[in-house]
Structure 1
Amino acid sequence: MTHEDDFDSLPDQDEEWVSKTRRKKEMQALQDLGKKLVALNREQLAKVPLEPELLVAINECQRLKKGEAIRRQLQYIGRLMRLADAEAISQAMDLFEAGKQAHDAHFHKLERWRERLIGGSNDDLTAFVEAYPNADIQHLRQLVRNAQKEAEQQKPPASARKLFRYIRELAEN
């Protein structure tokens, strides 16, 4: 055996060497993405580009109740994810996440309005009516008064919830 034969047994220089740690991290990332997929509802799953076998595995995981069975199913989903277009799936998941964050921000904005109206002055009411000109001022004042009275008496916040529903209704229209 010559010295040149040793070079023939080495992998091509064009192939990229990937450490075992990096491969494990990549596999864990795929499994984590699979976990996020399992958390989606059917309507959301329909919007994600999934292989049929992967979709079946996700549906099966959603059906399972026992912890160990779920763990094994998630590992299986992770293996199937290696064959799937993880980039396209990840992009679809990012869109869901962005939509959820926007929804949460809108919800928090409405909650801040409710708190300002309940704890605030007439200026806050005026600012709200300027922001939402379709508001029925008399109805709004009544809801605010009821919520304030409820808070003073330390009762459950039924009127505050009604006020929030009315604010949300105005925001949606």
Structure 2
Amino acid sequence: MPRKKQYQWQAHDDGQEQDFQQPSRSAKKRESHALQALGEELARLGPQEVQSLSLPPELAEALGLYARIRNHEGRRRQMQFIGRLIREMDDVEPL
């Protein structure tokens, strides 16, 4: 007897497909890249402009450290860290 095909979604008893609320992996990656780009824009701002924004202390410190780093790989890794801090923020809209 052949195996029953398993699908990513399961049909309800009434024949309707289950509606998933979770975003797709691609959507998560697009959002992550957009927030990374936001971090790059914040890194281009001057120190006075960064202070005028009400950023969390960790993010402001990370941006200050990014400005002091001269090594390419170090800057790349620090930008990844800045992106992570932005993703962890509760409300990104004010930025």
User: Do these two structures clear the TM 0.5 threshold for a shared fold by scoring above it?
Assistant: yes
1:45 maps onto 2:50 in alignment: yes
3-state SS of paired residue (2:88): coil
Q: Distance in 1 between matches of 2:19 and 2:55?
A: 31
TM (norm. structure 1) is 0.42
The separation in 1 between residues aligned to 2:19 and 2:68, in whole angstroms, is 44
Aligned partner of 1:61 in structure 2 is 66
> What residue is the counterpart of 1:139 in the other structure?
none
**3-state SS of paired residue (1:86):** coil
Structure 1 residue 49, shift from structure 2 partner: 2.0
How many residue pairs align between the two structures? 79
Provide closer, same or farther for how the CA distance between residues 15 and 50 of structure 1 changes in structure 2, counting only shifts above 3 A. Answer: farther
Q: Which amino acid aligns with 1:36?
A: E
* CA deviation profile, 1:119-156 (whole Å, cap 9, x unmatched): xxxxxxxxxxxxxxxxxxxxxxxxxxxxxxxxxxxxxx
State TM-score, norm by structure 2.
0.74
Q: Which has the larger radius of gyration?
A: 1
Distance, in Å, in 1 between the alignment partners of 2:20 and 2:55 is: 29
Q: Which of 70, 77, 98 is residue 75 of structure 2 equivalent to?
A: 70
Matched, 1:23 2:28: yes
1:87 aligns with 2:76: no
Q: Which has the higher contact order (CA 8 A, sep 6+)?
A: 2
Whichever residue aligns with residue 30 of structure 2, its letter is: K
Is the CA contact (8 Å cut-off) linking 2:51 and 2:60 kept in structure 1?
no
Structure 2: which 5+ residue stretches go unaligned? 1-9, 13-17
Identity %: 38
Cα RMSD, aligned residues only: 1.9
Q: Which structure is higher in helix share?
A: 1
Alignment deviations for residues 39-87 of structure 1 (CA, whole Å, 9 cap, x no partner): 1111111121211001111111111101111111101000000122311
